[in-house]
Structure 1
Amino acid sequence: MTGTLKLDTEDVASAARSMGTIVTNLERADADASALAGMIPVPELARAAEDFAGKWDDRRRTLIEEINALKEQASAVAEAFDAADSSLVDVLTRPPEQAPPTHPGNIPV
C-alpha cells in the first residue's frame, strides 16, 4: 500500500505560534478581569466580575498547561518533519557512491 503524506510544516508552526498567543492572553486574563471589575460602577456587578475571575483561575491554569503542551507538540512535529524532509532531500540528491572494484565472483578487492 502506498500513499502520499503531505504536511505543510509552516501551517503547523503557525498553529504553534497561535497557541502561544492564546496562552499569553489567558495569562493576562486575570489582570484584565481585575481591571474590568475596577471600572464597573455598580458594586454588585464589580464583585460578580471579581468572583468570576477567581473561579475561572483554576480552569484557566489547566487550559494554559494543556495549550502549552499542544504548542510544544506542534512545534516538535513541524521541526521533525522539516528535519526528515531535509534528510530525504540530501539522500535523494547526493551523487551515488561508487562501488569498490570487485574480482570475478563479486568479491571486493
Structure 2
Amino acid sequence: MIRVYIFLSALFFIFGSETNKEQNLIVSYSVIACSCAQWKIENNNVDENIYLERADDKILDANKVWDGETLPLKFKVKGYFKKQLGVPKDYSSKGKLELGKVFIYSKIEKIK
C-alpha cells in the first residue's frame, strides 16, 4: 500500500506538476555515469534527477561549472519546468541523451 502511494506521488510530481509556475529549487550535481539528467532536486521527497537549462545566455551555465573533482556542487535556482520531457538546448554528452524533466532557470546562486 505504501509503495503504491509513493509510486502515485512520484507520477503526480513528474507529470502533474509541470507548469510554467515559477519555483525555487536547491539542486546538487550527481556525477552519474550515464547520458541522463545530472541534477538532483534536494528540497523535495522524490528521488529524481532533472536537467538544468539557463533561460538566457548571460546567466551562468550550471552544466559547465563542475571542475571534475570538487563535490558537493549545489545551486539555488529560480525558474520553471518545461511542460514536456526533453533535453536542454546546447547540452552535450557522450552517447544518446535520455529524455527527462528540464528546469529553465532565470536566477542561479552557488551554495557549495
TM-score (norm 2): 0.22
Rg larger for: 1
Larger helix percent: 1
Return the structure number with greater strand share. 2
